[in-house]
Amino acid sequence: MVPFADYEMPVQYPCGIKSEYQAVRNNVGMFDVSHMGEFEISGENAELFLQKLTINDVTQLKNGKAQYSAMCNENGGIIDDLIVYKFVNKYVMVVNASNVEKNWKWLNRNLITGVKLKNISDSISLIAIQGPKCRNILSELFSEVNNLKFYHAIELKYNHENLIISRTGYTGELGFEIYGSGNSINLIWQYLLNKNVQPCGLGVRDVLRMEMKYCLYGNDIDESTHPLEAGLSWITNLNTDFIGRDNIFKFKQDGVDRNLVAIKLNERGIPRQGYKITKNGKLIGEICSGTQSLGLNCGIGSGYVENGFHKIGTEISVLIRNKEVNATIIKPPFIKKTSLLD
């Protein structure tokens, strides 16, 4: 157990990270991610408010749909990456645990009339059930998941309480996330345990997300990075007037100075955060996240490199203990075949 965003979190369970990894990639595993933050946004101007605060196009959301997005400051720096859900009378924003207070202040600072904000983080617990066989097990409890499409969500009742189930996750596999009261989530967790679903910790969660090159706030993105250099142009709608848009548009016109790339080591070693990236002895960047891929059995990482050195197939080196370790920039994700869209 380790401290994480004011919570005590498991790095791994007694079976170990390798067992947890195999469960998620080949069978089913579950994560207690109750540390995440949730805000409820409602009112006649809720859509207008979110269109101003988030970088994706909120008007594209239909009831029961989810959208990956981010909030930026006036300079275009990323305040947080997040998911927005739309329901009949409200939106729900899910944010990173370490940024709950910062995000809450930012939303209130930019609040407009006709919008009601509610921080429901302390009343919401959250389970992520992930893996190619997770639908089979979860459908025994909630038949509705059989028809739930990727990045969609439903509201339903369980144990006389409200639940949200979404087809989302952070592993690259078929997965669902269940939001509800601590009482309901504990009951579901116990049900899944009784079905021999493998509990998984922070250690394997990082390996799984790294193999997909999913960004981790505080490592790969923060307020010193903007969406375009972080590879998040696909969620950045420059036709909307969100906070930070003008500076991000200027970055696009002028050209980005650096790019976040996926790096695969060709020799033994693990690229850790802060390790330098070189090309023919020249410093060209730095590692943001790195781990030992259990699927590829080699070191993998993500890092920012100078523009011009970011092309797929570029041979580079990562400086590990003063030794240049040969590596290649590859097209993400590192693991190509998963059950994500099954």
pLDDT digits (tens, 9 = 90+) for 295-326: 999 999 999 999 999 999 999 999 999 999 99
Q: Is 300 contained in some domain? A: yes
Specify the residue for token string 């240049």: 324
Pair (88, 168) in one structural domain: yes
Tell me how far apart the alpha carbons of residues 312 and 307 are, in angstroms, rounded to a whole number. Answer: 12
Average pLDDT over residues 17-45: 98
114 with 192, same domain: the answer is yes
What pLDDT digit, counting tens, does each position of 105-130 carry?
999 999 999 999 999 999 999 999 99
Q: Which of 45, 34, 36, 223 is nearest to 117 (CA)?
A: 45
Q: What is the pLDDT of residues 153-178, one digit of tens each?
A: 999 999 999 999 999 999 999 999 99
Same domain, 184 and 103: yes
C-alpha pair distances (Å), 136 with each of 27, 242, 304:
10, 40, 40
Instruction: Let me know if residue 251 belongs to a domain.
Output: no
Specify the pLDDT at position 5: 86
Q: Which of 175, 210, 245 is the last residue of a domain?
A: 210
pLDDT in tens, 284-298: 999 999 999 999 999
For residue 262, give the nearest of 234, 287, 284 by alpha carbon.
Answer: 287
Please report whether residue 219 resides in a domain. no
Statement to judge: residues 54 and 194 lie in one domain: yes
**How many Cα atoms occupy the beta-carbon half-sphere of 66 within 13 Å?**
22
CATH number at residue 206: 3.30.1360.120
233 found inside a domain: no
Is 246 inside a domain boundary? no
Q: Let me know if residue 104 belongs to a domain.
A: yes
3 state SS of 78: strand
Q: What is the per-residue DSSP string for 309-331?
A: S-STT-EEEEEETTEEEEEEEEP
Q: What is the CATH number of the domain that holds 309?
A: 2.40.30.110
The residue with tokens 């927005």 is 84
Taking every pair of C-alpha atoms in the chain, what is the biggest distance, in angstroms?
64
Spell out where 15-64 has E strands. Answer: 29-32, 37-42
Asked if residue 141 belongs to a domain, the reply is yes
Structure tokens at 208: 């799984």
- State whether 59 and 155 are in the same domain: yes
Cis preceding-peptide flag for 132 (omega within 30 of 0): no
Residue 245 within any structural domain of the chain: no
Instruction: Check if the beta carbon of residue 228 is closer than 8 Å to that of residue 37.
Output: no
| 265 and 116, same domain (yes or no) | no
pLDDT at 331 over 90: yes
Per-residue pLDDT of 180-231, as tens digits, reads 999 999 999 999 999 999 999 999 999 999 999 999 999 999 999 999 999 9
Q: Is the peptide bond before 227 cis (omega within 30 degrees of 0)?
A: no
CB atoms within 10 A of CB 155: 17
pTM of the model: 0.97
Range of the domain at 335: 257-342
Same domain, 188 and 70: yes
Number of domains composing the chain: 2
